[in-house]
Structure 1
């Protein structure tokens, strides 16, 4: 079974052939080769000089830090004779500590600068542009991953790729051109766009570009490289449509929809880096949040921003946020939900009902119902948890309700927060009332000896001021210590709004539909739902809300109820949120996010073709209309598309598009490779043998990462049993944080957003992929592959796979 695969090659693209010698060595065919070689050597030399100066300065800082730290106490006059002398001594200590801390910070900054410059010296820049502004002096600009300003020469030897003038490289053709500067557009003439390949401080190749595209040939070369366990930053080949999204800074909500492989994740991360550069005087990493689909993906993208010079940008998942808001509730993870629904077909009545209910409760109409429900809630609607513990109830649910009626103002969304403040004040009075409680009697014997001794000694020092009965005073002090400790724990619970049972409150919407009949009538009128099904839906959700773990969609709604009422989890410091894989977000999830981050601007990136469940997405027209209304008054909403797909070969894209029933995305110069293969086998044992042979062949061809993708976790277990250590691989689970192996065995839900050199689809038989809903799943899995795709079917293959797009192999063994 010998076949040629598109093995990765370390080569220069065709456009560079005239300037690269035999075997890829640097050549001299370009008329400016000598000039650019000398300029590169000059820039590298200036960086080297700066490194030497910084190293010398760092040594001085380090010596000063060690000397000050060593002499710390010798430089302090410590005198405790009088209160004034004591205060002066404290001031000396503080001043000396500040000096030590400043030197430590400068030492850390110098080390970071040195590391950055050493890395930069290997490849200082990747492009050059010559631009003559109208009425101004022509400028030559070299663009790099980071800027380098030579203080001695007072010159920008390398300009950051995020600088305004750099947009000319990404978005303009040679000729009349303009870029957007802080003071307005700058028009002029772009005379030169030159692209370089520099490796280890040596110029390997270069080419002059005339069109807008930033080097399709170099893009093809980069895409041909092996996949890696982490996504990497590649700013050299940003395309025009990608640059337009990366440099947007005037939106309130920006919806970016792009095909699989269009670079959405890279664009999102580069946009974050651009924002931090563009707004560097007012924006820091703590003001930006990236929402990823899962923890594995969070780690997969973790190196990009540090490579771009930005660190400490917060990354999290929707599920982690839900867990934080709902506290100790057991919650179904999104992965578990998808696994459950993918494992059964449409003929499974329980899963079919879950899918239909999920679709209805993910609609814009339901987001409107949820919002109206929260606004309607008063003291008699909320379910209150008592505040206390197993030994004593400090505030019963009814006591809290009576307090709630005192602070409630109809239409005032902050009334629950005011209730929390009232409970905190009432806590002190309840603590006094608890001093002589029976449970405190039993707790007296459990007071730690050290605490009891400290209290006893403190009272002895004040014995002259105390009442005559010392023992009684001592016991009361112990009681007060016990009660205060317990009160502090309850105060924390109040501040976390633990007294609001958000899940039980949300359940009332379904368990008592007549109480909220007006809301349900409006929902039914908007959706056209049959009355009988609506009653069935209400009864089903009311019942499942009594069980744990909470269904993921119920947890989202309950989290929204809690945040909207109490502010739990709210973070007003976040000013930009970037949501990746946003096709998995429906209006109710977005409604909660808008509540969590009320001051934020939003970028949603996704692809409806990769939405694996039949439910509304944020990109649907009705959802977009809802989002525009929900965000109204806070900024404009805009939509952008990234239509071109760059990751996969033309043959893989053709198969994936045919599976989906859509044309192949246009706009990219597609690479070519062998056609995907469909291997039909009689049983799982034969599948495992064919799989092991193909893995060995692909590894020998030089592929960096090979993924065996299964429909579900359960199917991964089947694959593992039949592979039986035939090949080494890493099994990827929901809790896996890092991709380490060259061969990976993983379920579909964890593969989204990650790219591999080769994808091997385990059992695409008609039994496993026989429903129309499976088209999106097959498309998503196929488009993970860069170079090669092999599909295996036990028995009859899926009718969704067009046989004219694959090379069919029938195995009898």
Structure 2
């Protein structure tokens, strides 16, 4: 294979990624040549010359295996050392708890996953600096008992060349080596010389790793990150990045790996401010849950937008939710809050001993007017109390008294001031304001002004209001409105970095809520405009960034690595209808024979046969149906004695076969997908064709369509 030097077929039962082209392989001081000293327990042989092209590939592989064993032993020692540390040295109980928590995180981060290789690549460098001449690149840093690095973290600056180096710009690297693994065992290697100027063809090991069937949760992609993905991953913390990613381009993985990279590069800062992953539903979060821990990052919060905004999930008409999600609700809510400010009917009278001090009603009005709208509602109420008390102190000084700050605080807490505050600037919680807005037509009209039409106002009003705001059941759309009001009352705490996946599905008000949480931080925004399935789905990323309240760079990933070309081209027939401005995605995997479109007299009868037909192949199986049809599909599989799960919003499947309601399919992938009645999926909701596009692009090996009704739209 031009541009590669590969290990020949090696007689090893565990070899999964063999390459039988070429007869040359390189090995430096980390390997074994057969006629030189073998590696010691640290994987170091001293300053031996690098072995040339005559090296024995079997010996090279054996040497690399010894280096892996030494690295695993060193990682165990690092973990045992961390476990031996005690928090008792801290001075007090609180400090001990904080220190113990940090030690527990350190121990968890040093866990060795038996089925995951510690390193996946190696760089042989032109040693023109103080850095090592040979670097093994892996998921985390590993050093021996003399602090010598055995594995370098993939996020370290020196590791960037593993992803970016090429013959035109070798970045100080003369040879890049990739390793093949099965489970945690090293089975093969492949060399790419970068100092010969020859173009490098696609790595077979890299291709096989990308195409490897998957079961269970999502895996990390550190071994297969492509140069354009790596550029996104390594963007600086201070920059918000928006990624438009077609199906199979790895946008979700890129976002997760960027979070891991930022935690590595800005550890101290993000340890204080935090990193949060926001996904579309609990099933998606369960699917991605193992990625960051596998990279040694255990201190990352994962949630949904609904969970972040209070967990409200009362059912609601999509038309009502669409109005509530519109950005025009922001000024309506602001007016609704400040309409609770009342004109004072009387002034303030404070009695202290035999003295009386009065603040006239017109003075109170002036103070209220000076504060209204210039601060948040909660601090404004507190400031009013202090301003009134300060005015009283001025009266005291005018009479020759010498009051201090303690007197001012006492006046601010006095009963007359509290009564005046309750009358003029009442204490409020978000639910009180929203309850009044949705149940009082006159109040809604006053707050809406010209921002909402009469029809939209009628859409928002409750037909049967709850008895009080305390008994109200709020919807997910209400959650964003309550959050907006909460920020108008008290400032929302910020997060250091936010990763938002499937962002195209968020309403403007939900995006505003997320933007408030990273107003002093940054965000990684991920999505695909073609996969927008909500009534308020974004039509442009410029709009999304505007609602987030941030400036960012928009980058597009159009080259897919997972979805077969035959499947992706078939699904892309829907793009002119759902996203005409997007370029059609491309796939590196031809996938001949991966698509089967099968007319059926009864899809439920034929379902079991279709599932059994793919169970003979490796990988997971997803049966995707319209939401309403999921119980019937499950019953059909049960009758046919096919073990399976039915995916729920917060569920984690335990079996290889899973029935997936179409509304939960976004962000997931399965090796083999069977889609029942595509027309039913398309007809089930307003943006049903976009939902169908999502469903058709979940397959990474085969896609089978069973249908009795004609295929919708351009698919036919």
> What is the TM-score normalised by the length of structure 2?
0.73
Distance 1:106 1:36, change over 3 A: farther
Q: In the alignment, which of 187, 191, 203 is matched to residue 207 of structure 1?
A: 191
Q: Residues of 2 paired with 1:740 and 1:408: CA distance?
A: 61
Query: Are 1:693 and 2:609 counterparts?
Result: yes
Show the counterpart of 1:743.
657
Preserved CA contact (<8 Å) 2:330 2:484: no
Query: Are 1:123 and 2:117 counterparts?
Result: yes
Show the counterpart of 2:352.
none
Structure 1 residue 124 displacement after superposition: 3.6
Q: In the alignment, which of 200, 215, 237 is matched to residue 224 of structure 2?
A: 237
Within 5 Å, give how 1:657-672 maps onto structure 2.
Answer: 657-661=572-576, 665=584, 668-672=587-591
Show the counterpart of 1:458.
none
Q: Residues of 1 paired with 2:201 and 2:428: CA distance?
A: 53
Query: Are 1:168 and 2:161 counterparts?
Result: yes
Preserved CA contact (<8 Å) 1:707 1:758: yes
Structure 1 residue 159 displacement after superposition: 1.1
Distance 1:48 1:378, change over 3 A: closer
Q: Residues of 1 paired with 2:474 and 2:714: CA distance?
A: 37
Q: What do residues 436-478 of structure 1 show as CA deviations (whole Å, max 9, x unaligned)?
A: xxxxxxxxxxxxxxxxxxxxxxxxxxxxxxxxxxxxxxxxxxx
Query: Are 1:680 and 2:673 counterparts?
Result: no
Q: What do residues 711-760 of structure 1 show as CA deviations (whole Å, max 9, x unaligned)?
A: 22x22133345555223344435454211121111211111111111111
RMSD: 4.3
Distance 1:728 1:571, change over 3 A: farther
Within 5 Å, give how 1:694-713 maps onto structure 2.
Answer: 694-702=610-618, 704-712=619-627
Q: What do residues 325-359 of structure 1 show as CA deviations (whole Å, max 9, x unaligned)?
A: xxxxx643xxx66xxxxxxxxxxxxx7xx44x655
Query: Are 1:651 and 2:572 counterparts?
Result: no
Distance 1:296 1:404, change over 3 A: farther
Structure 1 residue 498 displacement after superposition: 4.3
Q: In the alignment, which of 563, 584, 600 is matched to residue 487 of structure 2?
A: 563
Structure 1 residue 238 displacement after superposition: 0.3
Structure 1 residue 571 displacement after superposition: 2.4
Show the counterpart of 1:456.
none
Q: Residues of 2 paired with 1:331 and 1:98: CA distance?
A: 37
Preserved CA contact (<8 Å) 1:653 1:664: no
Within 5 Å, give how 1:364-443 maps onto structure 2.
Answer: 364=327, 366=328, 369-370=331-332, 373=335, 377-380=339-342, 409-417=371-379, 419=381
Distance 1:18 1:35, change over 3 A: closer
Show the counterpart of 1:190.
173
* Runs of 5+ unmatched residues, structure 1: 1-11, 69-92, 179-188, 325-329, 338-350, 382-401, 425-494, 525-533, 804-813
Preserved CA contact (<8 Å) 2:108 2:296: no
Q: Residues of 1 paired with 2:428 and 2:337: CA distance?
A: 18
Q: What do residues 598-642 of structure 1 show as CA deviations (whole Å, max 9, x unaligned)?
A: 433111101111111342427444444555xx33xxxx4211111
Distance 1:278 1:539, change over 3 A: same
Residue 119 of structure 2 aligns to a residue in which SS? coil
Q: Residues of 1 paired with 2:473 and 2:95: CA distance?
A: 53
Structure 1 residue 709 displacement after superposition: 1.1
Query: Are 1:752 and 2:666 counterparts?
Result: yes
Structure 1 residue 38 displacement after superposition: 5.6
Q: In the alignment, which of 502, 514, 519 is matched to residue 581 of structure 1?
A: 502
Q: Residues of 1 paired with 2:705 and 2:126: CA distance?
A: 54
Within 5 Å, give how 1:621-640 maps onto structure 2.
Answer: 621-625=542-546, 627=548, 630-631=549-550, 636-640=551-555
Preserved CA contact (<8 Å) 2:337 2:433: no
Distance 1:687 1:57, change over 3 A: closer
Show the counterpart of 1:642.
557
Within 5 Å, give how 1:14-33 maps onto structure 2.
Answer: 19-21=8-10, 25=15, 29-32=23-26, 33=57
Distance 1:592 1:747, change over 3 A: same
Q: Residues of 2 paired with 1:539 and 1:29: CA distance?
A: 77
Q: Residues of 2 paired with 1:741 and 1:676: CA distance?
A: 24
Residue 226 of structure 1 aligns to a residue in which SS? coil
Query: Are 1:144 and 2:145 counterparts?
Result: no
Show the counterpart of 2:71.
47
Preserved CA contact (<8 Å) 1:757 1:787: yes
* Runs of 5+ unmatched residues, structure 2: 27-56, 344-363, 387-425, 467-471
Preserved CA contact (<8 Å) 1:291 1:578: yes
Query: Are 1:716 and 2:640 counterparts?
Result: no
Preserved CA contact (<8 Å) 2:333 2:447: no
> What is the TM-score normalised by the length of structure 1?
0.65
Q: Residues of 1 paired with 2:687 and 2:173: CA distance?
A: 50
Residue 305 of structure 1 aligns to a residue in which SS? helix
Q: What do residues 539-565 of structure 1 show as CA deviations (whole Å, max 9, x unaligned)?
A: 121235836644432332233123322
Preserved CA contact (<8 Å) 2:306 2:479: no
Residue 539 of structure 1 aligns to a residue in which SS? helix
Show the counterpart of 2:299.
312
Q: What do residues 630-683 of structure 1 show as CA deviations (whole Å, max 9, x unaligned)?
A: 33xxxx42111111122211111111111333798556422414142222233x
Distance 1:370 1:617, change over 3 A: farther
Q: In the alignment, which of 230, 249, 258 is matched to residue 262 of structure 1?
A: 249
Q: In the alignment, which of 695, 700, 704 is matched to residue 790 of structure 1?
A: 704
Structure 1 residue 138 displacement after superposition: 8.0
Q: In the alignment, which of 407, 432, 436 is matched to residue 501 of structure 1?
A: 432
Show the counterpart of 2:477.
553
Structure 1 residue 150 displacement after superposition: 3.0
Structure 1 residue 509 displacement after superposition: 9.0
Distance 1:202 1:220, change over 3 A: closer
Preserved CA contact (<8 Å) 1:506 1:561: no
Residue 168 of structure 1 aligns to a residue in which SS? helix
Preserved CA contact (<8 Å) 1:733 1:746: yes
Structure 1 residue 176 displacement after superposition: 2.9
Structure 1 residue 788 displacement after superposition: 1.4
